[in-house]
Amino acid sequence: MLAGKPRVTGPQPRVILRSTASRDLAAPRFIQHKNEAKAFYAGLSQVYDHIVNPGHWTEDMREDALVPAKLDDPNLKVVDVGGGTGFCTLGIVKSINPSNVTLIDQSPHQLAKAKAKPALKEVTILEGDAEDLPFATDSFDRYVSAGSIEYWPEPQRGIREAYRVIKEGGVACVIGPVYPTFWLSRFFADVWMLFPKEEEYIEWFTKAGFTDIKITRIGPKWYRGVRRHGLIMGCSVTGVKPKAGDSPLVMGPKAEQSGSLNTNPLTLLLRLILGTAAGFYYFCVPVYMYLKNLVWPKSWDM
């Protein structure tokens, strides 16, 4: 399948999407910045596995999302970028020898949680930047990134890095949000962080040089309206690297450096407060969906 004709799979009818020009990624999205994201996770890391996962990133969703990554050989070398507390990594090591897996994230608080998990004891855990990975070109067989792209100031740069670090024939799998269609959900999504459109995922993968680009839609079994309201983990996007070497896409210097203070501390604090407040909406929506399903099960829908 050619990169220009990506496949979308999932419970919805199969559709073909055409690449369109990306939105302005600069504003307002208050947490789509390295410093804000790091500060955000300094607090969220303490409860991430207990609050985020039940509503947005369940074990069933994780299994569905990783199927397209083709983790079909325990000896594959896999990098989990933006792996946070290691929840996705726990899914990876079910199929891959832990000693062949590398987890990298910019948040030391998230990584501390990952290091404490016995199943990840043999995994290499590093602190680093998804937009500037500290690995040689053609280093890994598989690239996985779950719940990270929404914080990248330059998602195109991060996906370009995904292409660079995997080997010829390797698969990159990016799992992330989907842009909602309901106006109120769109408002809070745009204030909080990046919710890419499916067309934008396709565009970024295509420009980076990937072929055989596919989108698999995911969501909790009880969640209604993944497209209408969006979901922090709403789709799994994969692409294949057709030949060895660096990405054909040439980009200039990074917009932001991880660990450097790009904004006034008071401005950063204000952005963090506003972004977190907007994000609270997305912690309430799954609760509403879950309670709605108890009263009117999704299986009753026609």
What pairing do the DSSP bridges indicate for beta strands 231-240 and 166-178? antiparallel
What are 238's two structure tokens? Answer: 């994969």
- Please write down the HEC assignment for all residues of 57-92: CCHHHHHHHHHHHCCCCCCCCEEEECCCCCHHHHHH
pLDDT at 257: 75
Taking the C-alpha atoms of residue 93 and residue 62, their distance in angstroms, rounded to an integer, is 12
- 144 within some domain: yes
- 2 within some domain: no
Taking the C-alpha atoms of residue 188 and residue 28, their distance in angstroms, rounded to an integer, is 10
Q: Looking at the 3D structure of the chain, how many domains does it have?
A: 1
pTM higher than 0.85: yes
What are 278's two structure tokens? Answer: 């907007």
CB atoms within 10 A of CB 21: 7
- Please write down the HEC assignment for all residues of 196-257: CCHHHHHHHHHHHCCEEEEEEECCCCCCCCHHHHCEEEEEEEEEECCCCCCCCCCCCCCCCC
User: Which residues form the domain of 290?
Assistant: 7-300
CA neighbours within 13 Å on the CB side: how many for 5?
Answer: 3
How many residues are present in the chain? Answer: 302
- 1 within some domain: no
Taking the C-alpha atoms of residue 87 and residue 301, their distance in angstroms, rounded to an integer, is 31
Q: Where residue 206 sits, what CATH number does that domain have?
A: 3.40.50.150
Contact 146, 57 (CB under 8 A): yes
pLDDT at 26: 62
pLDDT at 16: 31
pLDDT, one tens digit for every residue, the chain (302 residues):
334 456 555 533 233 333 344 566 666 799 998 888 888 888 877 777 777 777 778 999 999 999 999 999 999 999 999 999 999 999 999 999 999 999 999 999 999 999 999 999 999 999 999 999 999 999 999 999 999 999 999 999 999 999 999 999 999 999 999 999 999 999 999 999 999 999 999 999 999 999 999 999 998 888 888 788 888 889 999 999 999 999 999 999 988 876 665 567 888 889 899 999 999 998 888 888 888 888 888 777 64
- 223 within some domain: yes
- 168 within some domain: yes
Taking the C-alpha atoms of residue 143 and residue 237, their distance in angstroms, rounded to an integer, is 11
